[in-house]
Structure 1
Amino acid sequence: MALESPMQSFWEEVTCPVCLEDFTAPVTLECEHNFRQAPLSPQCRGTEQQGPLQPNQQLVKVVELAKQLSFQAAKRARWDGMCEEHQEAMKLFCEEDQTPICVAYDRSQAHMVVPLQEASQEYKEKLEAHLKALREEREKLLRRKTTAERKSQEYLKWIQVESQMIVAEFHQLRQFLEEHELRLLTQLEKLDEEIGRFQADTFRKLSMQISSLSEWIGELEEMCQKPASEFLQDIRSTLSRCETGEFQLPEEISPELEEQVSSFSQKTIALSETLREF
């Protein structure tokens, strides 16, 4: 007697002893026997079940596991080269079902069938073509990556050099601006001193002229108060002094100082326009 395979023994354990089908919604009797929703359990010889039927969920899980293992075993056996149904070697390949078949395969279906080795070689050539294209694409990507890395390094180096150059240029620019600022402030200070001296001299001259003019006005006012005989004495001389005694107004600012102020203003405007460009 041929020995049963472990899978066959497993299936006998998950098959209903009454209908000989795999357990679907199995239930358990009080006698602890399992069956597929039938009123009789031949294992305990009972003719009527006393008490409620208990669903056996654990057995449901075992049946599901058995189905999965059976499917995987059948699939593995087919690809291992032996037909489980006809016990023949898998020498052919069905293009429609994409699976190996034996020579006893039902030819009534209009499926394209080729020798297994021929199909293997054909698909291998197709895969080799794809592999070649993929390898070429990978080489392109590797070259692109190398180029990108080189350019990235070049840009990083350029940025570093530019950064150093900018720091150096602005350092020199700060030195130049500081020197130029000091020079302009010095010139402005000298101009301020010259304007101050000119202003003091102008005030002094104006004060002297105002004082002299005030004295002359006082004399004339006093003369106008005298009697006619005294008033007319030396009247010509007095009028002559009035006609020739015009006072000359001093300049508000000298042309030299005005030119210096204008020149300095132009320098300030030029500096503002230059700095605005930054």
Structure 2
Amino acid sequence: MALAGALERLQEEAICPICLEYMSEPVSIDCGHNFCRGCIAKHCQDKGLWADGPFSCPQCRASCHRSGFRPNRQLANIVESIRQLGLRGGAGPGLEPGTPLCPQHDERLKLFCEEDEEPICVVCRESLQHRPHTVYPIEEAAHVYKVKLQKSLETLSKEVEEVKKRESAERMKTQECKETVKKKRERIVSEFGKLHRLLADEEKLLLQKLEEEEKQILLLINENLARLLEEKCLLEELILEIKGKTQQPADGLLKV
């Protein structure tokens, strides 16, 4: 138990407070705290300190200067010894099952490369591929991504609400259209009903008039027929009389 505790404390001393991995090229700063050279240099760069201006220690907030960086070779040897023992850096002497590791360096993926949009380890960050890139702690990158997702969600929610409003407006138009068509249909049916009744009355009147005209014409025709029949009878009697005279002898024919 004592050995395990000592190893754990030794590991904690070898872990960089910034990247939470075993230190690479450890340096001591003015306040006595130790960091990876790359981590503390990047910390100063992120604060906009390129010259030897004062900066706050990431651990104790003491005022320090870049000129006060001192290579800690003893700590570097301890870190190298721990690496040779096969102990891992990070949150403790071991990693939780399923912890994602860098396929190239077998280190925890604690950083996120903005340009390549992929998680990387602290060793990858110092490589030529990622050194000029913008790199964030993976928790910070995840937070930024969540913020972007939240903004996208808010935008989409607003768009959904707008679509719902337009949908409601279109449904109102549909209802208004149905009401308008219903009123027009009722008006058309009413107007044509009136026209039908008017035409029916007109039809009845015209038929009655036609019937009267028919009666008058037939009456006139019958009167003409009666007169013609009477004339025909008179003519036939005259014909018979003439035929009778033609049958008489000459002396009788010439008698007055």
Normalised TM-score (structure 2)? 0.49
TM-score under structure 1 normalisation?
0.46
